[in-house]
Amino acid sequence: MAYPFQMGLQDAASPIMEELLHFHDHTLMIVFLISSLVLYIISVMLTTKLTHTSTMDAQAVETIWTILPAIILIMIALPSLRILYMMDEINNPSLTVKTMGHQWYWSYEYTDYEDLNFDSYMIPTQELKPGELRLLEVDNRVVLPMEMTIRMLISSEDVLHSWAVPSLGLKTDAIPGRLNQTTIMAMRPGLYYGQCSEICGSNHSFMPIVLELVPLSHFEKWSASML
């Protein structure tokens, strides 16, 4: 959950988000080093009148400033491709949940159960209880077991939506007529908030996502009470 005036990303709650945070720090350090080098060169050129004639047309310098950017790009591309394939990989999911986007609410169906489905609407501001978050609370939370591989099938019934939960590293487009999928694996219990991340109409800001990750025993009790 983000806090006011937060500058960085949310704390990671899944292995994928941890990898994304590491990649963000890795890339940011490369950008910082490049920016420092360029700033140093500019400051040197502006503060000295001396010219080193042997470096103005040297083959070695041209070789270095051609090869060095290629090496830097490879250092960024290889970790990026690794994470990209990790995000697309789904290994024997223990549970499948189908998510449908509507204007302007989400509906969920637990396909491993015979009749377990519900709609999830945002709770209006005037109906919030003390401690609940404005524009983020819903009447029906998505309860899922933690430390298990869960497959989310995501689509839409009307316009483009995007199902996004930042702390889990999830953002998948909900496209009418197309079924996208993503994987959830949370390493600790808790409430994880998200929102639709694709402008989908006048009430785009009012279709939040709330995932409640619980131990498997609690999930079994919840699913039995819903059937």
Give buried/exposed letters for 21-50 (b at 16+ CB in 10 A, else e): beeeeeeeeeeeeeeeeeeeeeeeeeeeee
Instruction: For 68-85, give one letter per residue: b (16+ CB within 10 A) or e.
Output: eeeeeeeeeeeeeeeeee
pLDDT score for 53: 63
State the pairing for strand pair 150-156/95-102.
Answer: parallel
- Residue 56's pLDDT is 60
Structural domains of the chain, ranges and CATH numbers in brackets: 15-88 (1.10.287.90), 95-226 (2.60.40.420)
Burial classification of residue 156, based on how many CB atoms lie within 10 Å of its CB (0-12 exposed, 13-18 middle, 19 or more buried): buried
Query: pLDDT value at position 17?
Result: 93
Walk along the chain (227 residues) and give the pLDDT tens digit of each residue.
Answer: 778 888 888 889 999 999 999 999 999 999 999 999 999 988 988 888 776 666 566 677 788 888 999 999 999 999 999 999 988 888 788 999 999 999 999 999 999 998 899 999 999 999 999 988 999 999 999 999 999 999 999 999 999 999 999 999 999 999 999 999 999 999 999 999 999 999 988 899 999 999 999 999 999 999 999 87
Nearest to 184 by CA among 168, 196, 171: 168
What does the alpha-carbon distance between residue 99 and residue 221 come to, in Å, rounded to a whole number? Answer: 22
Give, as one character, the DSSP assignment of residue 112.
T
pLDDT of residue 167: 93
How many whole angstroms separate alpha carbon 227 and alpha carbon 219? 12
Q: How far is CA 182 from the centre of its chain?
A: 11
Instruction: Say whether the peptide bond before residue 222 is cis (omega within 30 degrees of 0).
Output: no
Give every CB contact of residue 115 below 8 A, 6+ residues apart in sequence: 227
* 184 beta partners: 150
Task: Give the tokens for residue 14.
Answer: 């899944």
* Confidence (pLDDT) at 190: 92
